[in-house]
Structure 1
Amino acid sequence: MNNTNTNSDNRPLFQLTKEELMQDFEQIVRKVVNQIQVEQVSKDEKEFYTRKETSEHLNVSYSTLHNWRKSGILTPIKMGAKVYYSKDEVLSRLKGE
């Protein structure tokens, strides 16, 4: 008896109606959207942003962040070997303060 999942004669392993397929697809899309929303909420609740998150929020390059650090526009915080930026400082920069 062969228990492998190969299907050499190209018969479907199972069949779904169009409605069942659409329900499965909608369920997957809902899960993905919910996960994105959860990630966005957790990102918004952070006190500090990474360089990547900061550059994405402000739509600037790492070079610009470096130049802003040198000129005192944004002050990074080092935690170990990582560089972070205060959420409040990033948001105030977004508002143009």
Structure 2
Amino acid sequence: MKLIQVTPSELKEIFNELLDTKFREFFNSYDNQQKPEFISRTEAKELLNVSYVTLNNWNRKEILKPSYIGNKPYYNKQQIIKQLSKGN
């Protein structure tokens, strides 16, 4: 076993460098995550080429579930694309 002597200031510097590296890795991975893109009801209707009634029916059947900001529904575009790839 080999002992290494480190002064408190050197230990603090090593610790800070390690923390900086880990924080950078964390924030880089967070920035690289795909952020959801929300579209309006009108945009969803046009993207899917369906009527507002169909969107409401799909909401009731929980095929496409909107998120609400105030009273306005917004649809997750990735969820719509996922549903389209399923063929529903």
Band of TM-score, shorter chain: 0.5 to 0.7
User: In structure 1, how many angstroms separate the alpha carbons of the residues matched to 2:37 and 2:51?
Assistant: 21
Instruction: Tell me the alpha carbon deviations over residues 63-87 of structure 1, each in whole angstroms, 9 at most, x when there is no partner.
Output: 0000000011010100112110111
Bigger helix share = 2
- TM-score normalised by the chain length of structure 1: 0.50
User: In structure 2, how many angstroms separate the alpha carbons of the residues matched to 1:58 and 1:67?
Assistant: 14
Question: How many residues get paired?
Answer: 53
Instruction: Tell me the alpha carbon deviations over residues 34-93 of structure 1, each in whole angstroms, 9 at most, x when there is no partner.
Output: xxxxxxxxxxx9700111000111110000000000011010100112110111111112
Q: Indicate the residue corresponding to 2:27 in structure 1.
A: none
* Gap runs ≥5 in structure 1: 1-44
- TM-score normalised by the chain length of structure 2: 0.54
Q: Which one-letter code corresponds to 1:50 in the other structure? A: S
Percent of aligned pairs with the same residue?
45
RMSD: 1.9
